[in-house]
Structure 1
Amino acid sequence: MRVVVGLLLLLLGLCGSGAQGEAGGLGEVAEINQNTDPKDAAEESTKQITDQTTSDIWTELRALRDMVVELLQRENSDLQTRLSSSDSRIDQLETENADLQTRLSSSESRIDQLERENAEKPKVAFYAALTNAGTLGPYNIDITLKYSKVFTNIGNAYRPSTGFFTAPVKGVYNLQFTVMSYSAGNSGVYVFKNNQRIMHNWERNKEDRVPEYFTNSLVLELTAGDEIHLVLPSGWSIYDDVNNYNTFSGSLLFTL
Structure 2
Amino acid sequence: MGITVVCLLLLVCSVSTEHSNTGTDVETTAQQISYQQPCLQDVHAALKELTASLAEQKVEMRLLQRENEAQVAKLQEVRAELEKQKTEMQSQKFELDGQKTETDKLKQQLHAGQVAFSASLLSDGEATIGPFNGHTALVFKNVVTNIGSAYDPNTGVFTAAVRGVYHFEWHIGVDSSNTAAVLVKNTNHIFTAYEHQTAGYGASSQSASLLLEAGDTVCVHQWTGTKIHDNQNHHSTFSGHLLFTL
Q: Quickly name the TM-score band, shorter chain normalised.
A: 0.5 to 0.7
The amino acid across from 2:240 in the alignment is G
The amino acid across from 2:150 in the alignment is A
Shift of 1:201: 2.1
Provide the secondary structure at the position in 2 that maps to 1:234.
coil
Cα contact 2:191–2:207 (8 A) shared by 1:
no
Provide the secondary structure at the position in 2 that maps to 1:243.
coil
For residues 106-165 of structure 1, the C-alpha deviation after alignment (integer angstroms, 9 at most, x for no partner) is: xxxxxxxxxx96885121000000014411111222211000000000000000111100
For residues 157-209 of structure 1, the C-alpha deviation after alignment (integer angstroms, 9 at most, x for no partner) is: 00011110011100011111111111x221010111001111222111111xx
Q: Find the aligned partners of 1:200 and 1:248 in 2 and give their Cα distance.
A: 13
Match of 2:116 in 1: 125
**Aligned with 2:205 (options 215, 233, 240):** 215
Shift of 1:253: 0.7
Q: Find the aligned partners of 1:119 and 1:204 in 2 and give their Cα distance.
A: 45
Match of 1:154 in 2: 147
**Aligned with 2:238 (options 234, 245, 248):** 248
Query: Are residues 1:191 and 2:183 paired?
Result: yes
Q: Find the aligned partners of 2:193 and 2:231 in 1 and give their Cα distance.
A: 21
Q: Find the aligned partners of 2:160 and 2:106 in 1 and give their Cα distance.
A: 20
Shift of 1:212: 0.6
For residues 194-250 of structure 1, the C-alpha deviation after alignment (integer angstroms, 9 at most, x for no partner) is: 01111222111111xx11112121111111011001111121001111111100001
Q: Find the aligned partners of 2:130 and 2:202 in 1 and give their Cα distance.
A: 15
Q: Find the aligned partners of 1:144 and 1:230 in 2 and give their Cα distance.
A: 6
Match of 2:194 in 1: 202
Structure 2, unmatched stretches of 5+, are 1-104
**Aligned with 2:173 (options 174, 177, 180):** 180
Cα contact 2:191–2:206 (8 A) shared by 1:
no
Cα contact 2:163–2:212 (8 A) shared by 1:
yes
The amino acid across from 2:234 in the alignment is N
Task: Rate the CA distance shift 1:228–1:235 in 2: closer, same or farther, 3 A.
Answer: same
Instruction: Output aligned runs, 1:23-172, within 5 Å.
Output: 120-121=109-110, 122=112, 123-131=114-122, 132=124, 133-172=126-165
The amino acid across from 2:212 in the alignment is L
Provide the secondary structure at the position in 1 that maps to 2:225.
coil
Q: Tell me the matched-pair count.
A: 139
TM-score (norm 2): 0.53
Q: Find the aligned partners of 1:239 and 1:120 in 2 and give their Cα distance.
A: 38
Q: Find the aligned partners of 1:120 and 1:143 in 2 and give their Cα distance.
A: 33
Provide the secondary structure at the position in 2 that maps to 1:156.
coil
The amino acid across from 1:127 in the alignment is S
Match of 2:12 in 1: none
Task: Rate the CA distance shift 1:119–1:197 in 2: closer, same or farther, 3 A.
Answer: closer
The amino acid across from 1:237 in the alignment is K
